[in-house]
Amino acid sequence: MRQPDTPRLVKFLPTGNNPRGMATSANGRFGYVMNYLSRSVTVLDLVSLERVADLPVTGETLAPDVLHGKILFNTVADPRMAKVSWIACASCHADGGSDGVTWMFADGPRQTPALWNAGQTLPWHWSAALDEAQDVEDSITTIQHGLGLAPGADPPQLGAPNAGRSDDLDALAAFLRQGIRTAAVGPPVGDFDRGRALFVERGCAACHGGPTWTRSALPGAPSTLDPDGNGMVDAVLHDVGTNGVDDVRGSTGFDIPSLLNIALTLPYMHDGSLETLNAVLDSGHPTPRAPRSPLSAEDRLALLAFLRSIGPNTPPVPQP
């Protein structure tokens, strides 16, 4: 027998796009729902169970296609995006970040990457399998089990371009390239300047220098980057000795990730095998089979301080 205080579903009430929270009036009569992507507040009568009003809060600043892409990124209600509304792009990449989970995919164990500067760091995925933003159509259909945003059969990854196949897919791509705001990190704690110098001295800038904090970049035009048909942009792969027994792809290396906001994206490596930045330094990365001379305790703290400070306002370190 159901207890009187057991919660039960009474009714679905309409709100705006991407409702993220509700406050109630002092007497409990009204609920006020914040609609993140409608820039509005919906007022609900919690006694009559009706929507009373939608109140605009602010004007829209995003371009129409970027806003539409952001709505698609955050939705599970559209069957094209996910089967039975089970997962959205934002489920793993909330606000463009990472859920910190290592997932088992067809390629092997893969740590969720952040998307903060994704528009400047194609190709995407650890095995460099996507050469244009519209290639996330494959992620929608194979990972989220959605029907997909583009009509017809999808071309092979790194094959014919997906751009232009669907206005909705192009809008999602526009959001991924232009619409993700990079989270801010706190001020550096420690000897930031010494850490920056060590970042150069220890060779970190060779792979992680430049304005995107990675040397990875498209080496040519999309659809021309996989001449051997192995589904990877081989030119950007780099072997750092982390390929494991569970990896189907990885024997020739992995795409170099950006260090932007690295303090917020633990654990590290393609398989999440190193839990902290300290563990990364202990591993001998990027050549774990030939560790370099150890850091002094003071230098280690300084380098960690610099790494943890890398954010959208950190002046980039030039690549050598």
Shared domain check, 134 and 101 = yes
Shared domain check, 124 and 199 = no
Does 288 score more than 80 pLDDT?
no
Beta strands in the chain (DSSP E): 19-24, 30-35, 40-45, 50-56, 102-105, 108-111, 237-238, 254-255
Shared domain check, 304 and 201 = yes
Rounded CA-CA distance 56/46 in Å is 20
Shared domain check, 140 and 81 = yes
Mean pLDDT of 180-207: 92
In a domain, residue 144? The reply is yes
Shared domain check, 198 and 284 = yes
User: Is residue 128 within 8 Å of residue 228, measured between CB atoms?
Assistant: no
In a domain, residue 250? The reply is yes
If one counts the domains in the chain, the total is: 3
Bond from prior residue into 222 cis (ω within 30 degrees of 0): no
Dihedral angle sign, alpha carbons of residues 152, 157, 160, 163: positive
196: nearest Cα among 187, 185, 205, 183:
205
User: Is residue 278 within 8 Å of residue 226, measured between CB atoms?
Assistant: no
Bond from prior residue into 123 cis (ω within 30 degrees of 0): yes
Domain housing 3: 1-59
For the chain, give the mean pLDDT.
Answer: 94
> Which amino acid is it at 272?
G
pLDDT tens, residue by residue, 100-135: 999 999 999 999 999 999 999 999 999 999 999 999
User: Is residue 105 within 8 Å of residue 193, measured between CB atoms?
Assistant: no
Q: What is the pLDDT of residue 188?
A: 79
Mean pLDDT of 254-282: 96
Q: What is the pLDDT of residue 290?
A: 65
> Which amino acid is it at 56?
P
Q: What is the pLDDT of residue 1?
A: 54
The full DSSP string for 5-47 is T-----------SSEEEEEE-TTS-EEEEEETTTTEEEEEETT
User: Is residue 302 within 8 Å of residue 191, measured between CB atoms?
Assistant: yes
Q: What is the pLDDT of residue 308?
A: 96
- Band (pLDDT 50/70/90 cuts) for residue 297 is very high
Shared domain check, 96 and 15 = no
User: Is residue 98 within 8 Å of residue 230, measured between CB atoms?
Assistant: no
Q: What is the pLDDT of residue 291?
A: 64
Domain boundary among 178, 205, 234: 178
Give percent above pLDDT 70 in the chain.
Answer: 98
